């Protein structure tokens, strides 16, 4: 990352253009392939430009609103401070240290605002803020290094569209409920469903098979056990008795945005390479957290943990193997050896709803 250029409209370090360069493109064209939207944040009052195709999830944040991609690889969080005893410079220095571990690579400030950025763990970040009448408003942008090529041309446009104190701006509607889609596997005739624990975190409601409410019975070591009476008629899946090797088939229900609103089970070829699971061909993995990994006999050889980056190959996929699954189910009174051998009838969608 290079120091940020002195152009105030640029929020992330990019080289300055040559003097004879053509004029820049307009900052934001609403709609388009990135689904640009101008949002008046009800929590802070600021106006921000958002690429709606990328930032699809919305929830309340500590001091504003958080928009993010489905797996959190891109995040934009607004904030507002009204602490009268806190100077602008003191706030900037505090935000440089919070959260701990931020590495600051560039910084600019003025009498009425500041902007800085660098690395936060393995992600790039930038913070932009303006002050007026004792109030500081701004936003933080955070994204994975693997997405730098996608975000780099968007960041200046987002900075240009940022209006911290708009005149007569009507607030946008309250954020909708956040919905996360995952996959589940029926493992008993009593309606028990196995999924990745990450699918069930901070849910106000859990739904199985689309609309039926499910109860989380247990969670441990990356696995969660749900129960829904509506799935008792589905055939439980047979579980492999030994460690699998070689080619596996991932069976899951993709995010509805990946299949035009549908809820069909889809199959992806994968292979084990040591402890890591590799896709034979890169595919989007939104909705595959909790998907079943089937061996050559169609038995459950593992459960896919929540993939951090959907199909980019930047981080290895984690598979929770059959041995761990058997131990988890046994601890909660489910006999893995009592299941029939029909391999693919027990795959369904799990939905986590957060207010």
- The mean-pLDDT minimum among 54-58, 82-86, 297-301, 323-327 falls in 82-86
Confidence label for 169 from pLDDT (cuts 50, 70 and 90): low
pLDDT of residue 171: 57
Q: CA-CA distance, 196 to 317, in Å (whole number)?
A: 13
pLDDT of residue 79: 95
Q: Domains in the chain, ordered, with CATH?
A: 36-161 (3.40.1000.10), 178-354 (2.40.10.120)
pLDDT at 11 over 70: no
Confidence label for 270 from pLDDT (cuts 50, 70 and 90): confident
Q: Using the 8-state DSSP alphabet, how is residue 11 labeled?
A: -
pLDDT at 90 over 50: yes
Tell me the average pLDDT across 166-173. Answer: 66
What's the distance, CA 302 to chain centroid? 22
Confidence label for 226 from pLDDT (cuts 50, 70 and 90): very high
Percent of the chain having pLDDT more than 90? 27
How far is CA 217 from each of CA 149, 262, 302, rounded to the nearest angstrom?
42, 28, 20
Percent composition of the chain: helix, strand, coil (DSSP 3-state, to 5): 15, 40, 50
Confidence label for 85 from pLDDT (cuts 50, 70 and 90): confident
pLDDT of residue 308: 46
Most confident of 51-60, 158-167, 245-254: 158-167
pLDDT at 215 over 60: yes
Q: CA-CA distance, 130 to 233, in Å (whole number)?
A: 58
Tell me the average pLDDT across 339-350. Answer: 70
HEC readout, 207-276: EECCCEEEEEEEEECCEEEEECHHHCCCCCCCECCCCCCCEEEEEECCCHHHCCCCCCCEEEEEEEECCE
Which strand ranges, in their side-by-side order, compose the sheet holding 113-120?
57-60, 65-68, 74-81, 135-144, 123-132, 113-120, 102-110
Residue 245 main-chain phi, psi, to 5 deg: -145, 160
- The mean-pLDDT minimum among 132-136, 264-268, 313-317 falls in 313-317
What's the distance, CA 150 to chain centroid? 16
Q: Which residues, 6+ apart, have CB-to-CB distance to 21 below 8 Å?
A: none
Token pair of 272 as six digits:
């084990």
Answer for the pair 239, 325: CB distance below 8 angstroms, yes or no: yes
pLDDT of residue 178: 72
Tell me the average pLDDT across 320-328. Answer: 89
Q: Report the greatest alpha carbon distance in the chain.
A: 74
Which helix (H) or strand (E) segment holds residue 160: the answer is helix 155-161
| Secondary structure (3-state) at 351 | strand
How far is CA 239 from each of CA 31, 89, 169, 223, 295, rounded to the nearest angstrom?
47, 59, 57, 15, 10
Average pLDDT, the chain: 80
Token pair of 334 as six digits:
């489910």
pLDDT of residue 20: 45
């Amino acid at each position: 990352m290079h120091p940020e250029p002195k152009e105030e409209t640029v929020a992330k370090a990019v080289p300055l253009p040559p003097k004879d360069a053509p004029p820049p493109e307009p900052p934001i064209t609403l709609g388009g392939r990135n689904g640009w939207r101008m949002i008046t944040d009800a929590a802070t009052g600021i106006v921000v430009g958002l690429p709606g195709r990328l930032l699809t999830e919305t929830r309340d944040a500590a001091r504003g609103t958080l928009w993010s991609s489905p797996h959190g690889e891109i995040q934009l969080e607004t904030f507002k401070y009204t602490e009268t005893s806190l100077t602008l410079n003191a706030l900037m220095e505090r935000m440089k240290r919070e959260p701990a571990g931020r590495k600051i690579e560039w910084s600019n400030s003025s009498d009425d605002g500041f902007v800085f950025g660098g690395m936060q763990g393995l992600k790039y970040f930038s913070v932009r803020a303006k002050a007026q009448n004792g109030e500081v408003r701004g936003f933080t942008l955070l994204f994975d290094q693997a997405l730098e090529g996608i975000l780099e041309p968007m960041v200046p446009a987002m900075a240009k569209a940022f209006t911290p104190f708009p005149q007569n701006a009507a607030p946008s509607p309250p954020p909708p409920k956040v919905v996360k889609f995952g996959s589940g596997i029926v493992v008993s005739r009593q309606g028990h469903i196995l999924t990745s624990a990450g699918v069930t975190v901070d849910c106000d409601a859990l739904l199985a098979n689309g609309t039926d409410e499910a109860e989380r019975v247990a969670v441990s070591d990356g696995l969660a056990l749900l129960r829904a009476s509506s799935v008792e008629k589905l055939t439980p899946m047979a579980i492999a008795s030994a460690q699998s090797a070689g080619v596996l088939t991932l069976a899951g229900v993709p995010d509805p945005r990946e299949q035009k609103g549908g809820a069909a089970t889809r199959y992806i070829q994968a292979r084990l390479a040591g402890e890591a699971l590799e896709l034979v061909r890169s595919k989007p993995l939104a909705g595959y957290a909790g998907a079943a990994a089937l061996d050559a006999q169609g038995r459950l050889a593992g459960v896919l943990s929540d993939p951090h980056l959907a199909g980019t190959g930047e981080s290895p996929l984690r598979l929770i193997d059959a041995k761990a699954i058997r131990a988890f189910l046994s601890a909660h009174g489910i006999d893995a050896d009592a299941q029939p051998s029909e391999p693919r009838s027990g795959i369904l969608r799990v939905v986590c709803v957060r207010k």
